[in-house]
Each structure stands twice: as structure tokens, then as C-alpha cells.
Amino acid sequence: MNVKLNTFPLVALAIISCHIFVFTNAVAQGGQQGYFNKAEQLHRQQKYVEAAQYYEKYLASERSVTAKADPFAVGKKTGVNNGVNVHQQAVYNLAESYRLSHDYNNAEKYYKEAATFSEEIYPAAVYWYGITLRANQKYAEAIEVLSTYREKHGQMDEAGLATDRELLNLSFIKAQLSQTRPGFFVTPVSSPTNSSAYAQTLRTGDTVVFTAIQKPAATVAASSKGAPADPPARARLFEAIQQDGILQNAGEWNSGTPEGFHDGLATFAGNKMFFTRWTDVNGKSAAALYAAERKEQGWSTPVKLGEPFNMPGSGSTQPFATRDGKYLLFSSDRAGGVGKYDIWFIELDSDANALTAKNMGNVINTVEDEFAPSYHAPGKTVIFSSNGRTGMGGLDIYYSRGSIIMSDWNTPANAGSPINSSKDDLYYISTDEDNLWNTGLMSSDRDTSGCCLAMYSVRQNNKQYINGKVIDCATQKPLPDVTIDIKDTRTGKLVRSEKTDQQGGYAFEMSNISRYTIVAGKKSYDTTSKDYLVRMEAGKETIHNEPLCLNIRLSDYADSLQQVLNNLANTSSTLAQFGYNKSAINGSFAQLDSLVLLMKQYPTMKIEIGGYTDTKGTEEYNLVLAQKRVDACINYLVRKGIGRDRLAGKAYGECCPLEPETIDGKDNPAAREKNRRVEYKLVGADR
């Protein structure tokens, strides 16, 4: 039995958007047969939501007949649908309609019944029953159903390969769900417009442009009863401010969309806006890339782009312009690709005009579908969604580092749970300019009952434990009781405030802020600040900052220095004393150490070191001896961290005794000892 699966027949944005439809109030004539015929017609036109409602009407009318056939038997054949069992055909196509409109709960219900029908007539029913079980997170049941199906279906055809891939997906899901700590928080974006919002992109800062389904007010139909008819729902572009997972001040972009067309997923390069515009042609979505240009009076009328943006006979959709404006990434099923829909890129010139279009290559693209590309420049990472790789099921988000122009990429990695779910996940964009996964936006239908994608906020589960120290710039001593304000550099918002401890240390915990600023302030010191960049990994990480130093405030420094000068004038300036005919420092170093501290506290001070001797010996000899004593003191100060450029030395020799060396003609040894000295004096200080 050769089974060919109808996997993803829809194209362009209709594959994953909101399945936009119009439900007419007109009731087909002819009772049961009329409902069935209308449902079949809508199903062929790929109007699956409407088709499902008419199949339900048919089955409900069928149940109202007391003597209806056993639905699990072959059943009575009628003249409807070329002799096929109508009940079974309705059940199977109803399951298909629900699946293709992403209502997996109802699809599961009817595939379960269809799985009991003839395998010859409905060979894919069991497979799709397993898929809907997986989509509804009934993983153990899905494994059982698909494993049994694979055992019976041994061929390596499309159905066999698809089943093998789904079993690998279920194995991957099991491994993902066994992780004890989630790596991310994924929460719905709060906004009235988020019931059917998706395909978002950052315009500038916190401004988000996104796609949402808008349903115009009902109009009066031209019918005998004058009953209101539901007008077509439309996909349109909206702009809003996004902060902390909340959309504010959302407003529609007026792009002059023609009747019957839909707009979605805008991106910006210089003064140009690229977006997708699509319409239904013979029951299929035909999508193309359009562009508008910013003028002084506003945006120009959008125009459909020529080659290579759009190619005849194929669709182009989901554009994303890189931050530098050099490349436009998009998805297309044009000739020359690897699979169905591939990721392509176009080189742009300085005016955002196309140069060349290239396929992203077979490392990124598979034989199935790749959609919704984006690019995080700091991480050199492309992000996209695919249904052709092992994942959580449906469309999963993948990422790969590499070069766009060289098409040189690492093997794509699955973003994992909870970013990916058992349904469709796509349109991920990072809202952090430094860290790809720290914060972002994405779309998913995980929490919706069929119909539509919704926007979700992504926040990485990370914590940084940050510590450091504040010191005096001059003395290098720790400064206690310094106020530490931590701010988000990007927004300027105060995150928290701390005080340094007695050792000048600070420590705090922070989450999901890539760039932060520390502002440090203390009385009598100039306030200082420093910016920091955090490279984040999921989990806990301790970061040690380099010491942050504060300078004494200039006015306070001048007052303090003046007091020091006054004290110096009133105290002894003797640094050291020496033995007879000696140049080695004699006794305590206390005075020298005190000078070291003073000069570190006042780093603009400059000192002269003067050397003296007693009167014994010749004058020439005593000058040499005095210089040796000066050098001994200067070398000591330099070893203690005082710059040599702040120290001047001078040998005075036997001049300038402190006390007379003879009294009444007799030698005075005590006076000679005092005269063998080194003194210092202030010779300069900037205030």
C-alpha cells in the first residue's frame, strides 16, 4: 500500500496564519445531501473552517435519522460521491478540515473514528490520528499509535519516512520534558489585539510592527431577508509599543490594501518598508513581497516588487531585513531551492535595491518547509522555523551561527522546550541587542483552539550574581557606605540601589538586563558611573567587576589640603636621622610611612627631600654624604608607591644646623645627632 501524505499543501502566510475565512449564512438546499455537497465543495476550495461547519451539519442531520447505518461498518452506498460511504467520507474530511485549520482537538476526535475505516480507502487516517495526539500533548498514546502504524507500513515511502520523523520528534519531546529546570519563560503578550496577532518585527527601540486579523463591521446582504452578512476578515499591519510583554497604543497602518488582499510581516531597511501581501487564487494563497518608501509626507503607495524579490509562478513571503540593511531574508518556493519553501536572501545596495538573490543552502533548508527567518547580528545567528527536522512537532524554531554572504552555517539547533511546543512555533525575533535569547517575541498556536497564531513574550531563565568593590582613587583604600545605583543602560530605569559594606564591597542579583550602569556616590567624593555588558548563559553565573574608584571632590580636596599645609607649617618636618658618617636610615620608619599615606591621600602634592650633616669633615665630603641620605629616603618612598616625579632631592650638607654643636667651646654630641638628618617640605600641590 503506497501512502502519500497531504502534509502542508497551503502556501505563503496562509500556512500558519489565521486561516482567514468568510462564513456565509446561506444554507445549501437538499437536506443531508445538500450539507454534504456544500462541505465537499468548500473542502476542495481549501476553505476548511467553513467546510468543517457544513460537515458537522451533515453529521448532525445524519444522527437525527433513527435508522442510520452503523458508522463503523462499510455502510450503505448511495448515489452521492460515486458510491463512497458518505458517513465515512464526511468523518474523514471533517477530520482533515479541522487539522488543516489547526483545530487539533476536534481533528483528533474524528481521526480516531476514521482510523477504524478501511485502510485501502483511508490509508493516512491512522497516521494523522497519531499526529493529532502529539499536537494535543498525548505523547504516550501518539507513540503507541504511530509505532503500530509503522510496523504495519514497512515501506520507505513518504508515509514511512514521515512516521519515522514523527517518532524521532516524540523521542526528542520526551527528552525535552525530562529536563528539571526550564530554560525560558514563554508567556502570552498582553493586548486586546493579540487574539489573532503574529508575525512581529522590531521597528525602532520598543516599537513593534505586527500582523493581526481585523474583522470589519457586518454589512447588510442583498437577500430577501436583509440579514447581516459576515464580511471577510482581513490581515493588516499594526504598530504598538512593547514593554515587558505588554502591547500599548496599538494602531493600524493605513497601507491602502486593495479589497480581497491581506498584509503581513513588515521589515525596515533605511527608508524602505518591505512586507508581504497575499490573496486567495483558486483556493490557494498567492503571496508576494511589496515595498513602500518613507517620504516627507508619509509612506508612499506600496508597490509589488519585481525580480529577484518575486519570481513568476512562485510565492515570496516573510521578509526580514538585517540591522545593517545589507540583506533581506525571506521564504520562497521558487525554483532552485532545496525543498518546498526555503530560506533565501537578497543582497541590498545602499538604497535597499536588490543586487542578487541566493538560496541559504542545504545546511539550513530541508526537503520540507523553512519559514520566518530573522537574524541576530551580534551573535551572527540566523533563526527560522522548519517542519523538516527532528523537533517538538509542527513547525519548530531553530538557530544556526554562520555567515550570510558565504552561506557557511553550523548545523542548526532546536531551540527546545518551552520555546517550541507540540504545535506551530515561529517568527522569533530577539528584543535584546546583545543576547539572542535573553528577551524576545515569537508566535505560536499552542494555546489556541484552531484558527490563529498569537504573540508570546520570551524571557530567558537567567540570573547574574554581580559583585565588586569601590575604592579611593588616590589611596586605593576601600570606601564603605558608598551608594550604588544600578540602572538599565538602555532605558535609564533604576533597577535597584545598594550600599557598600565596611570593606567597600557590593553584591546584587540581576536578571534579563544585558547592559547596566553602576552610579557610585559618596559625600566629599565626585560621583562616578560605569557601563557594563553581560554575555548571558542560561542558569546562574557570578560576575566579578573590576574595582570602581572615586576621586575626592575638588572643593573638599582644596579645603583639606589647605589644612594639611597649615599643619605642616606648625610641626616638625624631620623624616629620618642618621649615625655618624652613615647614610643608612637610623631607627623607626614611622615618619616616612606617615608621609607615604599623606602623599597618597593628596596625589597632587610634590615634596622636596633635603639632606643634612654635622660640621665634622670637609664641606665637599658632607655634601656627598647628605646626597646619599636623600637618596636613601627617596628610594624608600618610591618602594612604597610614591611616584619619583613627585619627589625632589637636594643635599644641603653641614649648613643650617638645628642646634649649635659647641657650647662654651665644648663639643655638644646631642646637637650633632639632631643635625644629621633628612627633612621634607612641600614644593607644589594643585588644588
Closest CA to 142 of 156, 153, 123, 128: 128
Alpha helical stretches, state H, 64-103: 86-100
| CATH classification at residue 529 | 2.60.40.10
Looking from the CA of 493 toward its CB, the CA atoms found within 13 Å total: 7
Cα 67 to Cα 302: distance, rounded to the nearest angstrom: 60
Examine residue 126 and state whether it is found in any structural domain, yes or no: yes
Does the pLDDT value for residue 42 go beyond 50? yes
Examine residue 493 and state whether it is found in any structural domain, yes or no: yes
What value does the mean pLDDT take over residues 282-295?
87
What value does the mean pLDDT take over residues 504-514?
90
Radius of gyration of the chain (CA): 40
pLDDT for residue 685: 62
Q: How confident is the model at residue 206 (pLDDT cuts 50, 70, 90)?
A: confident
Is the alpha carbon torsion for 621, 627, 628, 630 positive or negative? Answer: positive
What value does the mean pLDDT take over residues 42-69?
81
pLDDT for residue 222: 43
Q: How confident is the model at residue 512 (pLDDT cuts 50, 70, 90)?
A: confident
Per residue in 75-84, pLDDT tens?
Answer: 344 444 455 7
Tell me the three-class secondary structure of 257-285, residue by residue.
Answer: CCCCCEEEEEEEECCEEEEEEEEEECCEE
0.75 exceeded by pTM = no
Per residue in 154-163, pLDDT tens?
Answer: 888 888 888 9
What value does the mean pLDDT take over residues 263-287?
88
Examine residue 51 and state whether it is found in any structural domain, yes or no: yes
User: Does residue 634 share a domain with residue 558?
Assistant: yes
User: Does residue 655 share a domain with residue 599?
Assistant: yes
Sequential DSSP letters for 144-180: HHHHHHHHH----SHHHHHHHHHHHHHHHHHHHHT-S
Does the pLDDT value for residue 99 go beyond 50? yes
pLDDT for residue 554: 59
Mean pLDDT for the chain overall: 83
Domain that holds residue 535: 462-550
User: Does residue 17 share a domain with residue 77?
Assistant: yes
Examine residue 271 and state whether it is found in any structural domain, yes or no: no
Per residue in 420-473, pLDDT tens?
Answer: 999 999 999 999 888 999 999 999 988 865 567 889 999 988 888 999 999 998
Does the pLDDT value for residue 29 go beyond 60? no
Does the pLDDT value for residue 579 go beyond 90? no
Per residue in 1-22, pLDDT tens?
Answer: 556 565 433 333 434 444 444 4
Query: Which range has the worst mean pLDDT, 231-235, 273-277, 581-585, 645-649?
Result: 231-235
The CA distances from residue 136 to 6, 150, 449, in Å, are 20, 20, 10
Does the pLDDT value for residue 587 go beyond 80? no
Cα 51 to Cα 23: distance, rounded to the nearest angstrom: 10
User: Does residue 561 share a domain with residue 542?
Assistant: no
pLDDT for residue 230: 56
What value does the mean pLDDT take over residues 318-328?
95
**Residue for grid cell 437538499:** 30
User: Does residue 140 share a domain with residue 83?
Assistant: yes
User: Does residue 608 share a domain with residue 526?
Assistant: no
User: Domain end: 510, 529, 550, which one?
Assistant: 550
Looking from the CA of 505 toward its CB, the CA atoms found within 13 Å total: 7
User: Does residue 559 share a domain with residue 509?
Assistant: no
pLDDT for residue 30: 55
Joined together, the cell numbers standing for residue 366 give 530541508
pLDDT for residue 276: 96
The tally of domains found in the chain comes to 3
User: Does residue 544 share a domain with residue 559?
Assistant: no
3-state secondary structure of 553: coil
pLDDT for residue 568: 55
More confident residue, 682 or 70: 682
The CA distances from residue 87 to 62, 69, 73, 136, 204, in Å, are 8, 9, 10, 25, 55
Examine residue 621 and state whether it is found in any structural domain, yes or no: yes
User: Does residue 130 share a domain with residue 18?
Assistant: yes
Is the alpha carbon torsion for 177, 370, 101, 94 positive or negative? Answer: negative
pLDDT for residue 28: 39
The phi and psi torsions of 348 (rounded to 5 degrees) equal -115, 145
Does the pLDDT value for residue 368 go beyond 90? yes
User: Does residue 66 share a domain with residue 46?
Assistant: yes
Q: How confident is the model at residue 372 (pLDDT cuts 50, 70, 90)?
A: very high
Per residue in 662-685, pLDDT tens?
Answer: 888 788 888 888 888 888 887 766
Does the pLDDT value for residue 602 go beyond 80? no
Examine residue 309 and state whether it is found in any structural domain, yes or no: no
pLDDT for residue 558: 60
Does the pLDDT value for residue 234 go beyond 60? yes
pLDDT for residue 289: 97
User: Does residue 166 share a domain with residue 89?
Assistant: yes
pLDDT for residue 329: 97
User: Domain end: 110, 142, 177, which one?
Assistant: 177
Strand 483-488 and strand 515-521: pairing? antiparallel
User: Does residue 140 share a domain with residue 104?
Assistant: yes
Q: How confident is the model at residue 503 (pLDDT cuts 50, 70, 90)?
A: very high
Q: Under 8 Å CB-to-CB from 578, ≥6 apart: which residues?
A: 584, 585, 586, 629, 676, 677, 678
Examine residue 469 and state whether it is found in any structural domain, yes or no: yes
Per residue in 296-321, pLDDT tens?
Answer: 888 899 999 999 999 999 999 999 99
Does the pLDDT value for residue 536 go beyond 80? no
pLDDT for residue 66: 40
The CA distances from residue 373 to 171, 386, 439, 442, 507, in Å, are 26, 10, 17, 12, 40
Sort 320 into a burial class: Cβ within 10 Å, 0-12 / 13-18 / 19+.
buried
User: Domain end: 125, 150, 177, which one?
Assistant: 177
Per residue in 617-655, pLDDT tens?
Answer: 888 998 999 999 899 889 999 999 999 998 999 899 888
Portion of the chain with pLDDT greater than 70, in percent: 84
pLDDT for residue 73: 34
Joined together, the cell numbers standing for residue 578 give 642618621
Cα 18 to Cα 99: distance, rounded to the nearest angstrom: 13
Query: Which range has the worst mean pLDDT, 90-94, 95-99, 218-222, 276-280?
Result: 218-222
Portion of the chain with pLDDT greater than 90, in percent: 45
Cα 23 to Cα 526: distance, rounded to the nearest angstrom: 70
